[in-house]
Each structure stands twice: as structure tokens, then as C-alpha cells.
Amino acid sequence: MGTPRATPPDPIHKDTSARVAVLLEALPYIREFAGATIVVKYGGAAMVAPELKASFARDIALLKLVGMNPVVVHGGGPDISRYSDLLGLDVRFVDGLRVTDARTMELAKMVLVGKINKEIVAQLHVAGVAAVGLAGDDGQLIQASKQMPNGHDIGFVGKVDHVDPTVLERLSDFVPVVASVGVDNKGQSYNINADTVAASLAAALHARKVLFLTDVEGLLADPADPASLISECTLAELQIMLDGGSIGGGMLPKLSAARHALEHGVGAAHIVDGRQEHSVLIELFTEAGIGTKITP
């Protein structure tokens, strides 16, 4: 009799084993973060491409279903600019901030609160979790005042003065989706940078983590080299890079927000490439991650 032949690997079995391995890698992280608040600033390509929208919604749904408390914060600058063009409104920026007169503020609130916010809530419902949309005037969540960059009056652009998280804590069965609009004590609404809002909410909620979705790989040691990704750094190391002038452009508001969150008790801040499907899960539940983790 000849030597028995080895049974060839079953492709289905190999695929199942790979899926089990992924779940086992995620298990300690799921255990560690159970009950933790995770604030996610949603923006960039992840808010545009249909497949990335669905991927993001499923990521947030999974966080909620395994026992975490995700909070989604969003802006919507490109949509505001698009509708401004359609309505013939002037689109101008000063120091990266949109000049926001009364008509633009009215449009911004309609787009952010009435359109984008409700679309995200609907996507989360499709993904299998209950969500509720909020803005800063709901439950006095985000109390704001006028921001004057370098002494320039650019209209109804705001800064966060105070966050009262009571309404979020009372909606613990839902995924809150927060539009980056604040309100002052006279009822005037302000358009606020969404990164700033995410950091302020994370600090007020004593969040374990805050994630900023963006359209780059993460924090790069050399901005011209995508392979120079810094997977992890401390706040002190980040400050050295900022002081050295090696970081600029659109990354600065996110890093400023990350620094604010970490200085106010948030456990870690992550800069995550939202162009990758399931980037939130990969960053939170795998050893390698996908972006840059910044720790106090």
C-alpha cells in the first residue's frame, strides 16, 4: 500500500479560522473598553463615499453592541460650501475659519442639524443601533461664545465655553450624534470646529478615548513620506514636533484638539485614516492599529 495522501486544506475552514483569529485578537480590547465612553469625530472621506459611510455606521454599531458608549461628533464644511454656492452666498475663510454672517449661520445650522445629522442617525439605525441627533442647544449641551481669531470679527463662529453632558448621560441607551453647533445664553447659535467640539465633549464625559477621522494615514514624521507614520507618541513628544514646525496645515486643529482632550483627562487620542473601511475597529481592536495614538 502507498503512503496515504495528506488531506488538502479546506478553504472554508481556513477562512473560518482567520475570522476566529480576528475575534480572539479583539477580545482583550473589548473586555478592557467595556463600559468606556469613546468619542469619535466623523469627517472627511468617511462622510462622502457610500461604502465608507456604511462601514463607519457598522463600526459604531459594534462598539455599542459590545458594551461601549460611543458618541459621534460631526461637522459638514463641504456641504455648507456647496449649498452656499447654490444660494449665491459668499464663501470666505480667515485663518482657516469660515466667515459666518447671519444668513450663512442659518444655512449652516440647517445643513448640519437638519440634513447631515439626520443622515448619520439613519445610517446607524440601518446598522442596527438606536441613535439620536443633537446640537449644542439641546439640553444646553454646548455653551458657546464668539471666537475672534487674531482680533478679527468673522461673524457667528464660536468657541466652546462649557459643556453640560447631562443630556448625553440620560440618553445612555442611544448613540448620540452631535452636530458642531453651540449656543450662547441669549440663544444665538454659533458654528464651531468639530474637532474642538469632539475634544470638549470627550473631556466633559471623562472619555477613555477620542478618535479623529481624517484623510491622511495619521501623524507623519515626514509629511512628504506616507511611510513615516508615527504609530504612537506622547503629548510631550508631540509638543516637540509642533515646536519644531514639522507639522502644519489641516493637521494642526486636530492635534490642538487632541492636546486639549489629553490635558483634561481623556485617556488617549487617535488620529485615524477614515479612508480605510472599518478604520475605527482596526485602530481600537488590533495590536498594530491603523493610525497614530497619542497618550498623556
Give the range of the structural domain holding residue 200, as residue numbers without chain letter: 34-295
CATH classification at residue 256: 3.40.1160.10
- What would the mean pLDDT of 140-163 be, rounded to a whole number? 93
Flag whether pLDDT at 13 surpasses 70.
no
Question: Rounded to whole angstroms, how far apart are CA atoms 187 and 73?
Answer: 21
- Quick one: cell of 277? 473601511
Residue 219 lies in a domain: yes
Residue 95 lies in a domain: yes
- What would the mean pLDDT of 111-139 be, rounded to a whole number? 96
Flag whether pLDDT at 248 surpasses 90.
no
- Quick one: cell of 131? 441613535
Residue 18 lies in a domain: no
Residue 67 lies in a domain: yes
Residue 10 lies in a domain: no
What's the pLDDT score for residue 11? Answer: 56
Flag whether pLDDT at 3 surpasses 60.
no
- What would the mean pLDDT of 61-73 be, rounded to a whole number? 97
Flag whether pLDDT at 21 surpasses 90.
no
Flag whether pLDDT at 146 surpasses 60.
yes
User: Is the separation of the CB atoms in 289 and 230 below 8 Å?
Assistant: no
- What would the mean pLDDT of 111-131 be, rounded to a whole number? 97
- What would the mean pLDDT of 163-172 be, rounded to a whole number? 95
Domain tally for the chain? 1
Question: Rounded to whole angstroms, how far apart are CA atoms 107 and 134?
Answer: 17
Query: Residue 187 region, left (φ>0) first, then alpha (ψ -120 to 50), else beta?
Result: left
Residue 49 lies in a domain: yes
Question: Rounded to whole angstroms, how far apart are CA atoms 172 and 25?
Answer: 27
- What would the mean pLDDT of 216-244 be, rounded to a whole number? 87
Query: Residue 15 region, left (φ>0) first, then alpha (ψ -120 to 50), else beta?
Result: alpha
User: Is the separation of the CB atoms in 98 and 104 below 8 Å?
Assistant: yes
Residue 4 lies in a domain: no
What's the pLDDT score for residue 23? Answer: 80
Residue 241 lies in a domain: yes
